[in-house]
Every structure is written in C-alpha cells, then in structure tokens.
Structure 1
Amino acid sequence: MDSFKNEVRDHVVALYETVREELQSCWQFAREAWVLIVLLLAAIGTVIWLAKPAPPTHVLMGTGSAGGSYEELAKQYAEYFKKNGVTLELVRTEGAEENIKRLKDRDDRLQAAFIQGGLLTSREEAKGLLSLGSVGYEPLWIFYRSDLLLPDEKQHINFLSQPISIGTPGSGTYLHATRLLQLNHIELSDNFKLLSNEEAVEAFKNGTIHTVVMVDGLESKNVQAMINDPRARLTGFHRAEAFGRLFPIYHVLSIPEGSLNLVRNEPPQTIQTIAPTTNLVIDPNMHPAIQLLFLQAAEKINGGRSFFASYGEFPDYKESIIEESDVAKSFYKNGAPRLLEYMPFWLAEFLNRMLILLLPLGAFAYPIIKSMPAYRLSRARSRINEVYGALKLFEQELETNYDPAQHDEYLKTIDELDKRAQKLRVPRSIVSDYYSLRTTIDFVRTLIERPVRKGEA
C-alpha cells in the first residue's frame, strides 16, 4: 500500500514539475520572441479587420408610406433581427422613388428597403443597387364605390372620368398606374387624384373619390380597409393575361369568388389581376452577414403559404433588372450555412468569418509558428556563443599578454563571464551546451590561477 502511494506521489510530482517547466519554458520563449509574437498577432488582427470586419449591430431600413404592407412586413423583420442581436431601425419614407434614391446615395445610412418590381426598366437605372430576391406579390387592386357607380359604368371607359386615386408621384402605385394608363393611351386629367393610399381610403369613405387604385400587399391596412368597407367592390383587371405575356414583371393572379369575404361574396365572381413582386433591395456595401440575416428572415416570414403564394415560393429571385447579390445566389443554391442550425447568428457568423479568414492566414502563419522553436534554439545558442566568443578573446589575452599584477582583474573578468553564463535560460535540448560553457569557464579560471601557484612555488 505504501509503495502504491509513493508511486502515485512520484507521478504527481513528475507531472507538476513537467507542467511547471513547460510553463516556464513558454514564458521564457515569450520574453525572448515577444516581438515576433506581437507582429504575428497584429498581422492576424489586421487581416481579419480589413478583409472581413464584424457585421454592424444597427441597420436602417426604409418602410414606405404609412399603412402599407411594407410597414407591417418590416416590423416582422425588425423582430427577427432583434432576436438575433441586431437592431433594424425602420425609417418611414415617401415610397419607392425615395427608397431607390437613398439606397444609391453612398452617404446615406439607409441600407435596405422593399421595392416593387418593374419600377426600374433597365440595368443602367438599377446601377448602385443589389437584390436579395422577391418576397411576395403586390397585386393591382381597383376598388369602386358600388353606391356611386353603376355596375355597367365600372365596365365602361366613363368610369375613368369619375374621381379616381392613382397614388402620389414617386410611389409604386403611381408609377404602375400611370404606366398602364399610358399603355392604353389614356391621358391624365383632373379627375385623376394624386393621393397616398392612406388618404385615398379616407377620401373613398367620404365620397370624394369614387375609385381607388392601389398596388400593395393583401395584408396592408389600406387594402384591408377597402376589403372590409361594405360599399367597396373589387373589379378585375381585364386582359391580365395579355399584360402578363407582354410584360414579364407582371404575374397574373386569380382571386376566387367569395375568397375576400364569404358573407358578402366578395368578389362576386372569380377575377384576375396583375402583380409585380415585392423585392428586398439593398446597398451593395451591406455586410454579407447582414444580407444573410435578411434572407433568413425572408425565409422565415415570407416562406410559408399565403393567399397568393404557395409554400416555399418565396423568397426567390424573380426580378431580373436589379442584379442579384452573391450572398443571395449562394443562399438560393446551397441554403444557409449549417452553423446557423446549431448556434445563434452572431456566434455562427463569427466562427464562419474566422474559418474563412484563418484558413489561408494559417497557411501563411504555419511556417512562422513552426519556426518559433528553432528560433528559440537559435537565440539560445547565439547567446551561448556570445559568451564563448568573449571567453575565447579573454583566453587569448591571457596567453599572449599575461601580467601577474593584473591577477585580481583577471579573476574579476572570469567571474563576470561566469555570472553572465548563469543568467542564460536555455531549452532543455541544449542544456549540455550550457554546461559545456560553464566547464570551459572553469578551465580558463585554472589558467589564471596556474601562474600564481608557479610563482608561489
């Protein structure tokens, strides 16, 4: 039993001494090679910061006009961002035109916005923007007052001569409405009222507007207000298929009979309309990790089945004018990084960023790290050799110019060399070189003392 205890104690003592020696060795190495270590760490930090800085924790997003679907949708995105440690600040704007202008302005802090598809007609107009894809449909709605317009009037061109709201300049509703009017060679007149969707709803209620045109999502407060108004009737978009074929930005959607209100059987028959898509557009300078967070939010919030979309239909890249982000291309092809399935966004993003950067950096740093032990050995040998060199010069001085009167000075010099050797800290692998130096110093000391003894004899 005693032998077992002694054996255990010996193992513990050996382990303790080994760990202590290794820690002392590391500390000594750090003291000797601290310049190299600091430079390496500085290089790693600089590469990480310059090549792929950490994502921001505060992002600005435009929401469009009050009461629109963008505002409600953006609030859901803000909640998703909050759960992932990022603040998504919602900024109310006048509409698509302002959003586009601000996203193109590199001095503007706005970095994201929902924009209706089809507002930009060329790649040239879309320069300075990137798309993360489409997240839903925005149907064209035409509501008319059933108590102010006869059923046959709404089918006739004369109903356009009644007060009709087509949105405010700069809004998506206005841009789409005026485009469709121009395609039908209908010129704007005084009866076309330039009201926001929110203002149009109020004007519709008090009877100053007979017809309201909106391009907005089904979930928007303004569209819901019109659907729930018993005096409002929805008319279909004639020749919807034709517009869908002639202009790919428009998707043809069906609204089945009674699907908006079963009690009132609204609409009274199945109708068709056309719809651009809602596109998530960003500043090209947006951090890739924030782009990925937007795409995850879109998948979570917009990826389910809705009134017009089937399950998994969104998000998707359906707008070809605005260039698709590389992050979005990878997301639609490969999905989100697997790390995001097992850990919070901020941690997964950090590890992913470190992995991407440190792999090539590791290939660069590996030879330096590998050379550090050799560097330490080289430094230790160099210091031993320095003492050896000083000792050799001193020995030559003794052999050629020995002066008995300088005996005490000689001893003082050899003692200083010995102290210098004692202060050396060397790796265990070259301890033999260290003791060889100490032995050589003792040998030279005997050369000093030998002439004295001869004189005494």
Structure 2
Amino acid sequence: MGSFKQNTHETFLGLSESVKEKWADFTQFLKEAWPLLLLLLLILMGIWWYADPPPPRRISIATGSAGGAYEVLGKQYAEFFAKKGVTLELVSTNGAQENINRLVDKKDPVQAAFVQAGVTRPKDISRGIQTLGAIAYDPIWFFYRGQEINSADFEELHQKLKYFKDKKINIGIDGSGTNAQATRILRVTGLEDERDFLRMRGDQAVKALQSGEIDGTFIADGYDSPNVQMLLHDPKIHLVAFKRASAFVKIIPYLHIMDVPEGSFDLPRNFPREDMKLLATTTNLLIDDRMHPAIQFLFLEAARQINGKASFFARRGEFPSFKDSLLPESPVAVHYEKNHYPLLAAYFPFWLAELINRLVIIFLPFCALAYPILRALPGYRTKRMYGKINRLYGNLKEFEQDLLVSYSPAQRDEYLKRLDLIEYQALKIQVSKSIAADYYSLRTSIDFVRNCLNRGVQSYQYEGAVDLDL
C-alpha cells in the first residue's frame, strides 16, 4: 500500500491526464463542429436582438410649464436616469392635454408624460397609452389677494357667485391640469358661466396675483412647486379651504382630501390660522405602451426613490401606486408592484443587470431548442471520424483491387508511395479514445498490404486456378 503522498500524487496525475484528454477532445470538437456551433450562435444572436432588443440610451418625457412641480420632478428623474447611464430629455409643454396629445402621436419622440388624474377620460384617449401608476398628490389650490375673507363666505353659493363675478380669477390655460380641475370644481358647484375667467399659465398667474393684476388663481400643482411655494410664503396672499371636501370627493371620485394642520405652512406666521382641508388629484406617469420594459422598470424605481419618500402630504412608501388608475395598467408596473425592482439591479450597474437579465430570458428557451442539437454533436463528431476511417478503408480496398487487376513488379515503388499516402492521410485523422481500436485496425491493415508488396512472392501475381466463388 503506497504512502499518502504517493497516492495524492497519483490522484492529481490522473486528474491532470483526464483534463488534458478532455481538453484535447474539446478543441478537436471545436475544429470539426465549428460550422454548426456558428449557426447556433447566429440563431441565438438573432433571437436575442429581434425578440428582446436592448433598451434605448435616450428617452423623452413631457413635463409641464415653467415653474411647476413637474419641471422640478422631471429634473430629479433626469438625475436618477443619468446615474444609470440613460439620458432623460425633458420636454416643456403647456400642460396635461399637450402631454397626452404627444403620447398619442406615435411619430412624436415623447414616450412618457406627467398627467393629472381627471384631466381626460379614458375613452378620449386612443389605444397605446398605459399608466405606470400615480406618483404624487397635486393639491388644488385657490389663492387670492386683498382682505382675508371668512371661509364660510365660500360655502354659500350666492356669496361665492358674487365673489367670482366681481373679481378677476384665473383658471389656467386651456388644456392644462389646472384648467381641467378648476373647471370641474366650478361646474359641480354651479358656476358654469366662465365668461369672466382668465386663462393664464401658472408662472404668469403668480406674477399677476402678486402684482395685483388679478384677484385670485387656481393652481393644481404639487406642494413643492416653485409657484405654490412663492404664494404660500407671500403674507399678502391667502388660501381658501374646502370645508365641503367630503362632498367633492363623493361627486368627483378621483379627488382626495388633504388635511392641513394649523400653522403647518408657516409656523411663525401661524399659517393657516386653523386646521383646513384641501382637495387633491394625483400625478400619473403615463407611457407609450411600446416603451422598453427595462426603461419602465427604471421609471418605477425612480418613482419609488423620489416620490416614495415621506412628503408634506404623502406617507413614506405611498407612491408609486395605482390610485385613480383610469387607464390600462402596464404589465411591467403590475409586476413591479408585486415584486419590486429586479434583484440584479441592486448589485450590478443598470446596463450590466439588464444584459444579464436579457441573456437569461433568451438563454432558457434557446436551451430548449439547442439541447437536442448539442446532445447530437458528440455522435455527429464520432460519425464523422468513422466516416474518415471508412473512406480510407475504401481507398485501401480499391488500391488492392487495382493490384489484382494490373500489378506490375516494375511499379512496386509507385505502389508503395500510394500506400504511404493512404497511411499519411490516416495519421492526419484526430480520433478520440473511444474509436482508437478502429483507427489502429486501419493502420494495421495498411501495414498488412505493405508487407504483401514487400514479400518475395506477391499474392497479387498468383497464377494458379482460383475459385472466385469462395
């Protein structure tokens, strides 16, 4: 019984020889089967490219007018996308309706947009637009200047009518979210006569209100909007509460009630002076349904990290969600809501994680297709080696038949050269150990014919009677 050192040495020596043998077989296999392997590779690349193209490096999103929350939010999304290696181009628009129109137009490069719930009805939107869910609350603010009015005055219909008739009130430009929300609220309260209402952009309305050109303005925008913040911190500007907020929510289902505690906007100023209720709609992230799934995941992750934080009106983790989802929900968003962002993205850069994910998705069905072919490859190689051996056997047999028919002692050197050529061709064959016996049988047969030629008495010259039927 050998020592432990000797046994270990023999074990590793055996493993080394086995590895070398397998490697030699593998390299020979590649040399012989490379056309088939190349064909399989081309099929894989074709499936990969056409079935699951890579995500684009640049994408456009429609935001909104200058000074609005969507402009600020768009810049935050652009920073997030830039860290992932994707350029998010912000497209400034005149409001929600233009955002939707650009999404509907399949020739427009815009593939995503911020749009408030309630701006349009689903039947007014053609197919091809999906939602990734709601991402924020957009309160509906009514700011006014001048003497502060008791909020009760805004609850009496005739008092309200009188106030609006005597004042210059802005309800936002046509097609904007502000215009849609203000018009809806005015309509349900019975104020359908809009002849005296002004239609100005948010930033223009803020300047006009502060300068005294107008008396009041609706703004449907986020709390962090520069326009909203400018008015909230102006002591000359007042804010109207919706005391009948519960009634509005019953009549307009997509609206939400926002509770504002006393002094929460400005504690030193004690603004507001008492607890108040506001109405709010939600911002929806709409997309062209042709958007690449990886980019959709990127938008959802941006929404989770940016909009999912606790804010003045939203709880931590409240967004993104399918609040007020009146449009078809993206399957990617539904998957995200249940499973969140792909696990690979937490450990790899976006592009590498997406590449691995695409490879896995394509590799599984490819294996189902390629497995039978790959299993047949070793048999294919063995069959090819046997074919080469059998062809040389055929050449050897043909050579011997020629000797039987037309053997000439003077040409013996020429015969030996032909035999050497056959043997050289046999030496060029690379065979595995499994068919080595057949290979050396061929070599032995070649030597046998050579020995016959080198004998003094040639079998190919036998002149006696021969029964050919033996």
Match of 1:166 among 167, 171, 178: 171
1:338 Cα deviation from its structure 2 partner? 2.6
Instruction: Specify the alignment match of 1:289 in structure 2.
Output: 294
On the 8 A contact 1:123/1:321 being kept in 2, the answer is no
CA distance in 1, matches of 2:230, 2:257: 23
On the 8 A contact 1:123/1:322 being kept in 2, the answer is no
Instruction: Specify the alignment match of 1:157 in structure 2.
Output: 161
Q: Is residue 244 of structure 1 aligned with residue 244 of structure 2?
A: no
Instruction: Specify the alignment match of 1:315 in structure 2.
Output: 320
On the 8 A contact 1:32/1:376 being kept in 2, the answer is yes
Tell me the amino acid that sits aligned with residue 312 of structure 2. F
Match of 2:434 among 398, 421, 429: 429
SS at match of 1:26: helix
1:41 Cα deviation from its structure 2 partner? 0.9
CA distance in 2, matches of 1:216, 1:23: 68
CA distance in 1, matches of 2:379, 2:245: 77
In structure 2, stretches of 5+ residues that fail to align are 462-470
Tell me the amino acid that sits aligned with residue 393 of structure 1. E
SS at match of 1:233: strand
On the 8 A contact 2:118/2:180 being kept in 1, the answer is no
Instruction: Specify the alignment match of 1:386 in structure 2.
Output: 391
CA distance in 2, matches of 1:233, 1:264: 12
SS at match of 1:265: coil
Instruction: Specify the alignment match of 2:97 in structure 1.
Output: 97
Q: What is the aligned-residue RMSD (CA, Å)? A: 2.6
Instruction: Specify the alignment match of 2:227 in structure 1.
Output: 222
1:336 Cα deviation from its structure 2 partner? 2.4
CA distance in 2, matches of 1:296, 1:148: 43
1:14 Cα deviation from its structure 2 partner? 6.5
Instruction: Specify the alignment match of 1:335 in structure 2.
Output: 340
Tell me the amino acid that sits aligned with residue 317 of structure 1. F
Instruction: Specify the alignment match of 1:211 in structure 2.
Output: 216
1:257 Cα deviation from its structure 2 partner? 2.2
CA distance in 2, matches of 1:7, 1:254: 81
SS at match of 1:112: strand
Q: 1:310 to 1:148 in 2, by over 3 A?
A: closer
SS at match of 1:375: helix
Q: Is residue 46 of structure 1 aligned with residue 46 of structure 2?
A: yes
Tell me the amino acid that sits aligned with residue 164 of structure 2. L
On the 8 A contact 2:69/2:222 being kept in 1, the answer is yes
Q: Is residue 120 of structure 1 aligned with residue 120 of structure 2?
A: yes
1:328 Cα deviation from its structure 2 partner? 0.7
Tell me the amino acid that sits aligned with residue 431 of structure 1. A
Instruction: Specify the alignment match of 1:71 in structure 2.
Output: 71
On the 8 A contact 1:163/1:209 being kept in 2, the answer is yes
1:373 Cα deviation from its structure 2 partner? 1.8
1:203-234 residue CA offsets vs partner (Å, 9 max, x unmatched) = 01111111011000010000001101111000
CA distance in 2, matches of 1:302, 1:63: 15
CA distance in 2, matches of 1:75, 1:372: 55
Tell me the amino acid that sits aligned with residue 31 of structure 1. K
1:153 Cα deviation from its structure 2 partner? 6.9
Q: So what's the TM-score if we normalise by structure 2?
A: 0.89
Instruction: Specify the alignment match of 2:207 in structure 1.
Output: 202
Q: Is residue 257 of structure 1 aligned with residue 275 of structure 2?
A: no
In structure 1, stretches of 5+ residues that fail to align are none
CA distance in 2, matches of 1:148, 1:274: 20
Q: 1:70 to 1:285 in 2, by over 3 A?
A: same
1:5 Cα deviation from its structure 2 partner? 9.7
1:18 Cα deviation from its structure 2 partner? 5.2
1:383-429 residue CA offsets vs partner (Å, 9 max, x unmatched) = 11111111122222223443444433322221211111111111122
Q: So what's the TM-score if we normalise by structure 1?
A: 0.91
On the 8 A contact 1:129/1:283 being kept in 2, the answer is yes
1:272-318 residue CA offsets vs partner (Å, 9 max, x unmatched) = 22211101111111111111111111111111222212222111001
Kindly, what percent of the aligned residue pairs are identical? 47
Q: 1:193 to 1:425 in 2, by over 3 A?
A: same
SS at match of 1:141: strand
CA distance in 2, matches of 1:156, 1:419: 108
SS at match of 1:88: strand
Bigger mean CA offset, 3-12 vs 102-111: 3-12
Bigger mean CA offset, 442-451 vs 259-268: 442-451
Tell me the amino acid that sits aligned with residue 318 of structure 1. K
On the 8 A contact 1:95/1:170 being kept in 2, the answer is yes
